[in-house]
Amino acid sequence: MSGAIVTVNDFDSAIVVENHKDILVVDSRLVADDLGIEHESFMRTIKKHQAKIEQRFGIIRFEIGEINGRGQPQKFAWLTEDQAMFVMTLSRNSERVVECKANLVEAFSKARQIIPAQNDRIRELELRLKIAELEKATSDNNTWLMARSEFIVQAHGPQMLALIQGRPDAVVEKIEKVTETVICQGDRKVSFTGKSTAELGRELGFKTGKEFERWLTKQGHQDKICEGLRAIQAPYIPVEYIADIKRLWSQTRKTNGTQLMLGE
């Protein structure tokens, strides 16, 4: 994996293979230690043949080591298997050198077997972490939606929540009884049950009753507007039409890409 460092050292050797950005490498200090030579001497050999190494086996990555206590920071190289093997071929084949070559080959071989499995496990853990983060974000969002929905229900009732969510069919009809009685000449009483277009229009967000009437006519429902006697004659909506009109208004607003925000 990019940026991951996975060490492999399952046998009696100083050699440790690491995975740096999906490239298996070994620390030159460890190779020098396994060879039984000074690291400075090993680095001089690398620098002497650097051009040839990089021409045939790729760029050598150098790094400055951390300082433990006093002293100058030590420069070292991260060597690939080919680079390390080439440098070791420049040494005389003593028993120690041959053993170091065998250790290096074995370390890289084990790394190629173990590191992919470890990387798969790391990817699995990263995926699980992503899923957990998404689940938490979803849970937080659901909590916010529930709080918002609860506020709307408390402030305006469940009907309003259903309308805002674009579910007019889910509205539980509320019988709106608004009765007005007008006394005419000869004490004759005329009553009607409904809401004036001005009153219902305000609930639906219209500025005036006339604006609401024009919208209702445009929707082809002018037949739902009746004339009734009040202190002055005024159009009104009979109670049996109110729920239908609210549904129509919600559907129209939803189609236009906006939500209905009404006052009770």
**Lowest mean pLDDT: which of 128-132, 137-141, 167-171, 219-223?**
167-171
DSSP 8-state assignment for residue 6: -
Q: Which tens digit of pLDDT belongs to each residue from 157-211? A: 666 666 666 665 655 455 455 555 554 555 556 666 777 888 888 878 888 888 8
Distance of CA 166 to the CA centre of its chain: 26
Whether 133 and 235 have beta carbons less than 8 Å apart is answered as: no
Kindly report the number of other CB atoms within 10 A of residue 38's CB atom. Answer: 11
What confidence tens digit (pLDDT) does each residue in 102-132 have?
888 888 888 888 776 666 777 777 788 888 8
pLDDT value, residue 264: 38
pTM greater than 0.85 (yes/no): no
Q: Provide mean pLDDT across the span 21-43.
A: 89
- Which H helix or E strand runs over 79? strand 75-79
In the structure encoding, which two tokens stand for residue 2, read together? 């990019």
What is the token pair recorded at 92?
């005389």
Domain boundaries, the chain: 17-124, 174-255
Name which of 70, 66, 89, 94 is nearest 79 in CA terms: 89
